[in-house]
Amino acid sequence: MTLPRAELIITGCTVLLHDDQERIGWEEDAAIVVRGGAVESVTTAAAVRDTPAAERIDARGQVALPGLVNCHTHAPMVALRGLAEDLPTERWFNDVVWPVESNLTEKDVELGARLACAEMIRGGVTCFADHYFTMDTVAAVVVECGMRALLGQAYFSSQGPEGREDSLEFALRHRGSAGGRITTALAPHAPYTVTDADLAATAGLAREHGLPVHLHAAENRDQTDTSLVRHGRTPVEVLADTGILDADVLIAHGTGITERDLPVLARAGGRVAVATAPRGYLKFAWPTTTPIRALRDIGVPVGLATDGAASNNSLDVWESMALTSLIQKSTEGDPRWLTSRQALHHATLQSARAVGLGEEVGSIAPGRRADIILVDLTGPHTQPVHDLPATLVHSARAADVRTTIVDGRVLMRDRHLLTIDVPAVVGELEERLPALVDRGHGRRVQQYDT
């Protein structure tokens, strides 16, 4: 009798597992069997010694984790990395980012997205939630590079009804594409750039088509204060009143979420999640960070994110994981809060839920898609290991990811990218930068005044 052939078998690693209470545990010297792009089993090396497989990876000394999820980014903005430094939010938008974005071509977006995917795959990110323009191009890059993504075509009300319609058409056109690796969302920019009427219309479309909504809201305290002055309501209350909170909704940042928003979020009719990208909040010197503890208390999952590289300077979700733990301890004044185990829960199950893939990814378990990363802990900076969660969260770095797998396909093997040619992308992008960064025209895609 011939045993059926697996696509991929990984042996010898320590595997992060979740128990039925979602507690994190570790299976040592384990084997992961992948078939049909999904995890078939997590077993022992001995059990799979004779199982035929198209590919085998010997991962001794490595830890297998669910791939990281970047729950809110603008991938093509890597082209602007380092262009708008040390500026307050308003000047960052109005003086640099929105003028430059008025120059963006499809080719810029393509190259930016490709470079972003290269960076994310090298950093152990297997899935990202992108919220940007020219998203057909981003979708094509996702198809080609093999990642998983939740994509939304962003729109402002200043574009007229077309923006909203394009966002819907994009979502319907690409939903479930790339063999299911692409899911889609409606993507109004934010309550301060999209009218209540457009938000209400978007909420209706979300209900009608069963689509989630991904948008910025209560990004910072200023936005909340301005919203209260102008509308007598917080941004979250605007989302409730316009029906957005009756859809599945992914809120980016939420550092301006206040006490009065908590019952509103708790009562939401859909599934609400928040994405936190703490590096940028520090860099912009925002006075608060995402109130993770309060959100956890009302059962709202908080996923990890980087935002775009124009503010965050990297798409390093590993750093977001460490910073989330550190900044939460500091903000809450409690060193016992947001332990490394909690950080790993945010990085795995909560991030998967935030992007609407809570049943598909976020843990290594039979039936889940095989989005797996292998992390090398043999470096001097990760030894000795007294406490594996602490080693992973506070000592390991993105560069310790050796292998990145999505849907059972190896996208990076031993630090070598298999689907993206970085020097070619960088060479092409460099030639385009002078035209991209030109601000002589005085145009901008939008005006920031919260």
The conformational region for residue 73 under phi > 0 = left, psi -120 to 50 = alpha, else beta, is beta
Q: In the complex, what is the shortest distance from the CB of residue 334 to a copy of itself, in angstroms, rounded to a whole number? A: 6
* DSSP symbols for 50-80: T--EEEEEE-TTEEEEEPEEEEEE-GGGGGG
Q: Residue 124 corresponds to which amino acid?
A: G
Q: Is 424 in the site for a copy of itself (CB under 8 A)?
A: no
Buried b or exposed e, range 3-16, using 16+ CB within 10 angstroms: eeebbbbbbbbbbb
Give the list of residues 6+ apart from residue 21 with CB closer than 8 angstroms, or none: none
Q: Which stretch binds a copy of itself (CB under 8 A): 24-32, 83-91, 126-134, 360-368?
A: 83-91
DSSP-based three-state secondary structure for 364: coil
Q: Is beta strand 148-155 parallel, antiparallel or unpaired with respect to 187-188?
A: parallel
Rounded to the nearest whole angstrom, what is the least distance from the CB of residue 290 to a copy of itself in the complex? 14
The two structure tokens encoding residue 220:
């910072």
- From the list 283, 293, 296, 413, which residue makes contact with a copy of itself (rule: CB under 8 A)? 283
Q: Does 353 bind a copy of itself (CB under 8 A)?
A: no
Footprint on residues 389-408 left by a copy of itself (CB under 8 A) = 390-391, 394-395, 397-400
Q: How many residues bind a copy of itself, per CB under 8 A?
A: 68
The correct pick among 66, 67, 99, 123 for binding a copy of itself (CB under 8 A) is: 123
Query: CB–CB of 134/155 below 8 Å?
Result: no
Residue 130 burial (C-beta neighbours within 10 Å; 0-12, 13-18, 19+): buried
Q: Work out whether 313 is an interface residue with a copy of itself (CB under 8 A).
A: yes
Please identify which residue in 6, 16, 80, 203 interacts with a copy of itself, judged by CB under 8 A: 80
For the CB of residue 445, give the shortest distance to a copy of itself in the complex, in Å.
19
Q: What does R_g of the chain's alpha carbons equal in angstroms?
A: 21
Task: Give the binding range for a copy of itself (CB under 8 A) out of 74-82, 177-185, 244-252, 353-361.
Answer: 74-82
Q: Which of residues 333-352 bind a copy of itself (CB under 8 A)?
A: 333-337, 339-340
State the pairing for strand pair 401-406/409-413. antiparallel
The residue whose two tokens read 């991209």 is 436
Among 22, 330, 366, 435, binds a copy of itself (CB under 8 A): 330
In the complex, the smallest distance separating the C-beta of residue 221 from a copy of itself, rounded to whole angstroms, is: 11
Binding mask 210-239 for a copy of itself (x = CB under 8 A): ------------------------------
Positions in the binding site for a copy of itself (CB under 8 A)? 78-83, 85-89, 115-116, 118-119, 122-123, 279, 281-287, 309, 313-316, 326-327, 329-330, 332-337, 339-340, 378-381, 383-387, 390-391, 394-395, 397-400, 420, 422-423, 425-426, 429-430, 433, 437
